[in-house]
Amino acid sequence: MSEETKILDRVLVIAAHPDDPEFGCGGTIAKWSAAGKDVRYLLLTSGDKGSKDRNLRPEQLAAKREAEQRAAAAELGVKEVIFLRHPDGLLENSLGLRRELAAYIRRLKPHIVAAIDPWRHYQLHPDHRAAGIAAIDAVWSAREWNIFPEQLEGDEDPWRVSEVYFFWTDNPDHHEDVTDFVDARIASLACHVSQVGEDREKLASRIRERTAKTGEEAGMAHAESFKLIKF
């Protein structure tokens, strides 16, 4: 089978916090699931610092946000959500994290990885920068025979991801038409009550406005944009 016709049916979304996948590309995730792709999430933190409520302890918030994330993922047809539970706000693109992510990539064998674009200008959240760099470094490492060779069992080949979709990018070169999936994106984001509150109408109009604006760039009613890297 040629590269062009190869079916890219396994997707791994690597993100820093619960709600990043849905805010980043929830419509596209729903579209991929509807097309029969196997979509899984790897969440590097559980968002345990994401509240201004001083009475909520980080571990309570983590449990709440993990439950919200599982519900949101279910709305989009995601098969599995894996939490690595690194500390929120303190994520580092360490060699250890790269090794951990490379091991997941080699085990789950995704054809497509979706991740935060770490090269967005003035990406101020340190976790977003670290998660994006860690993801692409792990994609690169997973391809190489001699990097983390202890992860390869017997005569197992290293895993070569075919495409990386960077969301939250300043350099979009690919648009996904999500006109039929905006409602799914809104429904999934509404699950993140601790972050978006209870006002569903306000959330819906904010999301519709955003996807419509992105759609204008590409002549689509509603779209999500990416920097797409093909290997």
Q: Which residue is nearest to Zn ion (CB)?
A: 17
CB of 200: closest distance to Zn ion in angstroms?
21
Identity of the residue, 43 or 78, whose beta carbon is nearer to Zn ion in the bound complex: 43
Site size with Zn ion, rule: CB under 5 A: 3
Q: Which ranges in 35-94 belong to alpha helices (H)?
A: 58-75
Alpha-carbon distance 131 to 127, whole Å?
Answer: 6
Q: In angstroms, what is the minimal distance from the CB of 40 to Zn ion?
A: 18
Q: How far is CA 3 from the centre of its chain?
A: 24
CB 183 to Zn ion: min, Å: 23
Q: How far is the CB of 101 from Zn ion (least distance, A)?
A: 17
List binders of Zn ion among 68-127 (CB under 5 A).
Answer: none
Q: Which residue, 10 or 185, has its beta carbon nearer to Zn ion?
A: 185
Burial profile 30-42: b = 16 or more Cβ within 10 angstroms, e = fewer: bbbbeeebbbbbb
Question: What is the C-alpha to C-alpha distance for residues 132 and 34, in angstroms, rounded to an integer?
Answer: 26
Binding mask 140-179 for Zn ion (x = CB under 5 A): ----------------------------------------
Contact 45, 85 (CB under 8 A): yes
Judged by CB, which is closer to Zn ion: 17, or 192?
A: 17
Residue 34: left if φ>0, alpha if ψ -120 to 50, beta else—which one? alpha
For residues 9-48, which are near Zn ion according to CB under 5 A? 16-17, 20
Shortest spacing between CB 20 and Zn ion, in angstroms: 4
Question: Is the CB of 16 or the CB of 105 nearer to Zn ion?
Answer: 16
Chain-centroid distance, C-alpha 209:
21
For Zn ion, give the closer residue by CB, 16 or 190.
16
Pairing state between β 112-116 and 80-86: unpaired
Reference 119, options 110, 131, 107; nearest CA is 131
- Least separation, in Å, of the C-beta of 51 and Zn ion? 13
Report the interface residues with Zn ion, using CB under 5 A: 16-17, 20
